Amino acid sequence: MIFRQFLREDIGCASYVIGCQSISECIVVDPQEDTGPYLDLAKRLGLKVTYVIDTHVHADHISGAQKLSQKTRAPIFLHESSKVKFEFEPFKSGEKFRLGNRRITALHTPGHTPESISLLIDGRVVLTGDSLLVGDVGRSDLFEEGSPDQLYTSIFEKILKLDDLVEVYPGHFGGSLCGKGLEQKPSSTIGYERKNNAALKTVSKEDFIQFVTSNMPAAPADYLRIKRINKGELI
């Protein structure tokens, strides 16, 4: 498996390229506005970008999904509940697909936003978007559509059902305003988070909801406009 993590240090964002050499294809997950690094990597490794995935409609940075799709003619995949103004291919909850030898499952993990997904790759790597972060969980307070109750279900009844050895690659790390206790580490494991993540040490759903709704950092600058751009409502 070809697996590359791209880190944007100034706002604590992570994006990913997953590829399969047997078919010379790759997918890009949560691309940043500057699409150059993904295109350069694909060219260098001889890979065709076959589709682009956003784990949710982002509010802290402008997504490069639409731009990358235009440049590569690769379709954009989002969860079927996504409310955007551009064409996309819908993921259904629990839908499985293949990328050559790779087996990928789209897990619907709402809470940060209703359309949030996580991607389980070969049962051993999970891209968690803004649900489970390293040292924290995603915030659910930026929009009325966020739900700490749904976030609890997504994390405790879906993500934490995975094996302790499964590697966790989130959409954010320390420096992001999408959580309040994020570690600088840009990756982890289910087992490490189960033992060390403060949000996961809460005793009950009520305690979890109290934890994730209190002492939140300031909202990302201009997040309402950014969200509208990423929904295709503004240019």
In CATH, the architecture of 2-230 is: 4-Layer Sandwich (3.60)
In the chain, where the domains are located: 2-230
**29: its two tokens:** 């997950």
Tell me the one-letter amino acid at 56.
Answer: H
pLDDT tens figures, 74-133: 999 999 999 999 999 999 989 999 999 999 999 999 999 999 999 999 999 999 999 999
Structure confidence at residue 127 (pLDDT):
98
Q: What is the pLDDT of residue 197?
A: 95
CA triplet 78, 19, 41: central angle to 5 degrees?
Answer: 100
Return the DSSP state at 216: P
pLDDT at residue 219, as a whole number: 78
Tens-digit pLDDT profile for residues 82-95: 999 999 999 998 99
Cα distances (Å, whole numbers) of residue 17 to 74, 75, 158, 234:
14, 15, 24, 27
Asked if 85 and 79 touch (Cβ cutoff 8 Å), the reply is: no
- Residue 228: its pLDDT value, please? 95
For 205-220, write each residue's pLDDT tens digit.
Answer: 999 999 999 988 787 7
pLDDT of 196 above 90: yes
The model's pTM is 0.95
The answer to whether 89 touches 63, Cβ cutoff 8 Å, is no
